[in-house]
Amino acid sequence: MKYILALDQGTTSSRSILFDKAGKVIATAQKEFTQHYPQPGWVEHDASEIWDTQLRTIKDVLKKAKATSRDIAAIGITNQRETTVAWNKKTGKPVGKAIVWQDRRTAAFCDRLKAKGAESMIRHKTGLVVDAYFSATKMNWMLKHVPETKELAKTGDLAFGTVDSWLLWNLTEGRVHATDVSNASRTMLYDITKGEWDAELMKLFGVPASALPEVRPSSGIFGETLLLGGSIPVAGIAGDQQAALFGQVCTTPGMVKNTFGTGCFMLMHTGTKRIASGNNLLTTVAWQIGDGELEYAVEGSVFIAGAVVQWLRDGLGIIKKSSEVEALAAQVSDTGGVYLVPAFAGLGAPHWDQYARGLMCGITRGTTKAHIARAALEGIAFQVTDILHAMQADAGVKLRELRVDGGASNNNLMMQFQADLLGVPVVRPVVTETTALGAAYLAGLAVRFWKNQAEIATQWKTDRRFEPTMKAAQRKSLLSGWNRALERTKGA
Q: Is the pLDDT of residue 491 over 80?
A: no
Tell me whether residue 96 is exposed, middle or buried, using C-beta atoms within 10 angstroms of its C-beta: 0 to 12, 13 to 18, 19 or more.
Answer: middle
Q: Which residues are annotated as a binding site for glycerol?
A: 81-82, 133, 240-241
Task: Tell me how far apart the alpha carbons of residues 144 and 138 are, in angstroms, rounded to a whole number.
Answer: 10
Interior angle at CA 4, CA 259 and CA 85, nearest 5: 60
Q: What is the 3-state secondary structure (H, E, C) of 456-490?
A: HHCCCCEEEEECCCCCHHHHHHHHHHHHHHHHHHC
Q: Is the pLDDT of residue 471 over 70?
A: yes
Q: Which residues are annotated as a binding site for sn-glycerol 3-phosphate?
A: 11, 81-82, 133, 240
Higher pLDDT, 345 or 272: 272
Quote the pLDDT of residue 390. 87
The whole-model pTM stands at 0.86
pLDDT tens digits, residue range 323-337? Answer: 899 999 999 999 999
Cis peptide before 208 (omega within 30 of 0): no
Distance of CA 363 to the CA centre of its chain: 32
pLDDT band at 303 (very low <50, low <70, confident <90, very high): confident
Q: Which residues are annotated as a binding site for ADP?
A: 11, 15, 262, 306, 407, 411
Is 3.40.140.10 the CATH classification of the domain at 3-241?
no
pLDDT band at 27 (very low <50, low <70, confident <90, very high): very high
Determine the average pLDDT of the residues in 316-320.
94
Quote the pLDDT of residue 62. 95
Q: Are 27 and 65 in contact (CB under 8 A)?
A: yes
With a pLDDT cut of 90, the percent of the chain lying above it is 81
Determine the average pLDDT of the residues in 387-411.
86
Provide the 8-state DSSP code for 198: -
pLDDT tens digits, residue range 28-70? Answer: 999 999 999 999 889 999 999 999 999 999 999 999 999 999 9
Torsion of the alpha carbons at 93, 97, 100 and 104, rounded to the nearest 10: -150
pLDDT tens digits, residue range 183-195? Answer: 999 999 999 999 9
Torsion of the alpha carbons at 10, 15, 439 and 309, rounded to the nearest 10: -40
Q: Is the pLDDT of residue 492 over 80?
A: no
Quote the pLDDT of residue 124. 93
Q: Is the pLDDT of residue 484 over 80?
A: yes
Q: Is the pLDDT of residue 339 over 70?
A: yes
Q: Which residues are annotated as a binding site?
A: 11-13, 15, 81-82, 133, 240-241, 262, 306, 310, 407, 411
Q: Which residues are annotated as a binding site for ATP?
A: 11-13, 262, 306, 310, 407
pLDDT band at 261 (very low <50, low <70, confident <90, very high): confident
What are the residue ranges spanned by the domains of the chain? 3-241
